[in-house]
Structure 1
Amino acid sequence: MRRAAVPVLVSALALTAAACGKAGDDDSDSGSSSDNKSIGLLLPDSVTARYEQFDKPFFEAKVKELCDDCTVSYNNAGADAAKQAQQVSTMVTKGVKVIVISAQDSAAIKSSIQAAVDKGVKVIAYDRLAQGPVSAYVSFDNVKVGELQGEALLTALGDKATTKSKVVMINGDDADPNAAQFKEGAHKALDGKVDIAYEQSGLWKDSTAAEKMSAAITQLGKKNIAGVYSANDGMAGGIATTLKGAGISGIPLTGQDAELAGIQRIVAGTQSSTVYKAFKPEADAAAQLAVNLLEGKDIKSLATQTLTSGSGDKVPSQLLTPVSVTVDNIKDTVIKDKLYTVEQICTAEYAAACKKAGLQ
């Protein structure tokens, strides 16, 4: 993918009205999970808006569409790796046959996955490639996500994209294997073109990212920062607040996940870009893999690639294509795909900016 060409997703995202359980609930079922058609869904946190708002209801709806007598048990780890390990154990005890898991800590969950597989449970890694003997993995091309972020930052910098321009880089949590891939892709785009003068992990937390941004300003001087790479929109929110508090405006700031708040910041000009990873196709793909494994069907036609996890396991994988979003293509991406409506984006606070951006 290149800066100048942003593909338009053709699959419409129709928001479902499926109810979302509270983050960290010990048990949120769409039916009994003790029969032989039970699927577990374990998501990592509720801080990242996508999981409860989109991934969970989309996954549940697709499973129901594919298998009307299948049941889904759901848990959210609440950003607690130990809690997620216990949730895996509980799912196995309940008799769940397939577990779809987005690992809070990809290495820490390895033993839990091994224990589940030893009991005959199939495990699918969702969005994050967990270690251990997983049967399949579905996500996006995460190195490309980082490349898109880096390229978008360079585009926003324009003629200021020089080897003397100081860029702050706030990466994700090292416990998440995706974070390393985003970082790899971003460095691939940025290295040799700008000066990455300050680089730290923001742990996927807005508060931590804000603290790191404040430290970067102290170290580099607010007049010497040309742009900021943030690995996701949640952290970008904390960074944007710090930049505003320091009196810094008009510099590029990246993101990822196309969160509503991130899209609104792009409209307002306090964030320059995000990366849209369409949640419905990802959740649908995971649901199809889960149902196929549950019913003993082949998944080779679905998981056509092979990736090696941190534990050295070769994992059949299905990778989807991410899309860069700027103010120029909001209409053709998140609005066209019905992720958000114009009304949701263009609240009273953003009405003037939306009009300027051509959204109203």
Structure 2
Amino acid sequence: MFPKFNPRATAGVLLVTAFAAVGAGCGSSDDNSNTSSNGSSTAASGSASSGKGGKIAFLLPENQTARYENQDKPFFINKVKELCPSCEVVYENATQDAAKQQQQAEAALTQGAKVLVIDAVDVASAAGIVNQAKQQRVPVVSYGRLVAKAPLDYYVSIDPYKVGQQQAQVQLAALKAAGKANPRIVMINGSPTDSNSAPYKKGALSVYNRAGAKIVKSYDTPDWAADKAQQEMDQTITSLGKTGFDGIYVANDGMAAGVYSALRSAGLSSSRFFMTGQDAQVDGIQRILAGTQLMTVYQPLKKIAGTSAEIAVDLVQGKPVPASLTPEKTDNGAGQVPSALVPTLSITKDNIKSTVIADGFLKPADICTGSYAKACQAAGIS
């Protein structure tokens, strides 16, 4: 259901200079937002203006994954405020409902939004949102997930194929060190409506296939839901038994929590299976410190949100977007979209302090709670 595209085309060294200044000034809270009971909010604009203002719609897909409300939202809004105090961010979260996101986009356009920045619930159906915006001459930035077969203006994300490779490479190295030369892998993949899920899986499979690993079960998990990942792991244990697999590939930390629960309920230690993850959530980092999850992948969300905010502010102010911000091109089935693909990092127990903590993404106080205090101390985190 996904278009053929190659987001790996030219990502890499060029990004270092382009993104060097993006993260500066991105705070971790949104003091001026009014949040409703369904997770949506509108950020009030500042009183002073350093240039032409306007409304920017920021549409996120769901709130099951902690990053969207805790990182993406405040990072984006605060960067817009820094760059354009007179700009207003109209924020909405679709809570994993594509029809609701369509309604939110239509409402934002009715309210006079001059730019849409959208992380789509469903990358196929979101083409309708893009087309409607373009009819009203409103530019669209595809954020995180690539909207398929639609006339996008810009795309800001990570390289999902590389993320899958990073996850599998770290896991296979650990399995090899444990004496598992040709391991049997269970794959708990992401939602089929997310454009990144397929390349995550393909990237991991490219590594597994070269290494002679055997995929004994593979699931595409609706909505990235932890409870559904838990059910998939329960089914795997029932089908294969407790010794029928050696490693568990999990596409993100939220689902890893569900897999961890399934293993515990079955009386299995998750440390045996070198479980992967993504997003560097607090609970994922805690499991890594405790030895119950092997790794996660850190997406520098300040850079992703900051770059998207820079593009959106330039667009709303009628300024040309510097080519250095989007040095790549990504094919979404409708054309070559100017793209910024931010490099990601594999996180293990050894580099938590020098990455997510050093970047200010997470604080020791967030991680080192309760039973995790001793694990933090052992890892030099305080």
The reply to whether TM is greater than 0.5 is yes
Please show how residues 136-285 of structure 1 align to structure 2 within 5 Å.
136-159=154-177, 160-163=179-182, 165-193=183-211, 194-203=213-222, 204-249=224-269, 250-251=271-272, 252-285=274-307
Select the residue among 131, 134, 153 that pairs with 2:152: 134
Gap change, CA 1:14 and 1:119, over 3 Å in 2: closer
Deviations 1:216-236 (A, max 9, x none): 111211112211000000000
1:286 aligns to what? 308
- Name the SS of the counterpart of 2:196 in structure 1: helix
Are residue 81 (structure 1) and residue 101 (structure 2) matched?
Answer: no
What one-letter code is carried by the residue in structure 2 that aligns with 1:328?
Answer: D
Following the alignment from structure 1 to structure 2, what is the Cα–Cα distance between the partners of residues 172 and 339?
23
Q: If the length of structure 2 is used for normalisation, what is the TM-score?
A: 0.87
Q: By how many angstroms is 1:337 displaced? A: 0.9
* Residue 335 of structure 1, aligned match among 357, 360, 363: 357
2:29 aligns to what SS in structure 1?
coil
Structure 2: distance between partners of 1:104 and 1:59 = 18
Q: Shift of the alpha carbon at 1:60?
A: 0.9
Distance 1:13 1:167 in 2: 42
1:314 alignment partner, one of 324, 329, 336:
336
Query: Structure 2: how far apart are the matches of 1:66 and 1:229?
Result: 40
Deviation at 1:14, TM superposition (A): 6.2
Q: Distance in 2 between matches of 1:113 and 1:325?
A: 35
Matching residue's letter, 2:72: D
Gap change, CA 1:28 and 1:231, over 3 Å in 2: same
Q: Which of structure 1's runs of 4+ aligned residues deviate more than 3 A?
A: 9-15, 22-27
Q: CA deviation at 1:271?
A: 0.6
How far apart are 1:296 and its partner, in Å? 2.4
Query: Residue type of the partner of 2:230?
Result: A
Deviation at 1:279, TM superposition (A): 1.1
Partner of residue 99 from structure 1, selected from 116, 140, 143: 116
Structure 2: where are the runs of 5+ without partners?
Answer: 1-15, 47-51
SS across alignment from 1:222: coil
Pair 26,336 (structure 1): closer, same or farther in 2 beyond 3 Å: closer
CA distance in 1, matches of 2:43, 2:189: 35
Aligned-pair identity in percent equals 41
Q: Write the letter of the residue equivalent to 1:136.
A: Y
**Per-residue CA distance 1:76-120 (angstroms, 9 max, x = gap):** 001101100111111111110001000010001111210111011
Which residue of 1 is the match for residue 3 of structure 2?
none
Residue identity in the other structure for 2:208: L
Change (3 A) 1:267 1:77: same
Q: Which whole-Å deviations, capped at 9, do the CAs of 1:266-292 have from their partners, x for residues lacking one? A: 011111000000111110000001111
CA–CA distance in 1 between the matches of 2:200 and 2:251?
A: 7
Closer/same/farther in 2, CA of residues 184 and 358 from structure 1, 3 Å limit: same
SS in 2 for 1:275: strand
Taking the aligned partners of 1:241 and 1:40, their CA distance within structure 2 comes to 37
Matches of 1:14 and 1:61 in 2, distance apart?
Answer: 6
51, 58, 74: which one aligns with 1:41 = 58
- Is contact 1:149–1:274 with CA below 8 Å preserved after alignment? yes
Q: Deviations over 1:320-350 (max 9, x none)?
A: 0000000011111111111122222111221
Query: TM-score with structure 1 length normalisation?
Result: 0.92
CA contact (8 A) 1:36 1:97 kept: no
Offset of 1:151 from its aligned partner?
0.7
- Please give the per-residue CA displacement for 1:244-303, whole angstroms capped at 9, x wherever unaligned: 111221220000000001000101111100000011111000000111112222222211
**Unaligned stretches of 5+ in structure 1?**
1-6
Report the residue type matching 1:65 in the other structure. Answer: E
Shift of 1:38: 1.0
The aligned length equals 350
Contact persistence 1:23–1:77 (CA under 8 A):
no
Tell me which of 44, 54, 59 is aligned to 1:30: 44
RMSD over aligned CA atoms reads: 2.2
Distance 1:99 1:14, change over 3 A: closer
Q: What is aligned with 1:4? A: none
Change (3 A) 1:94 1:15: closer
Q: Does 2:30 correspond to 1:18?
A: yes
Q: Compute the displacement of 1:239 (Å).
A: 0.3
Q: Distance in 2 between matches of 1:25 and 1:219?
A: 38
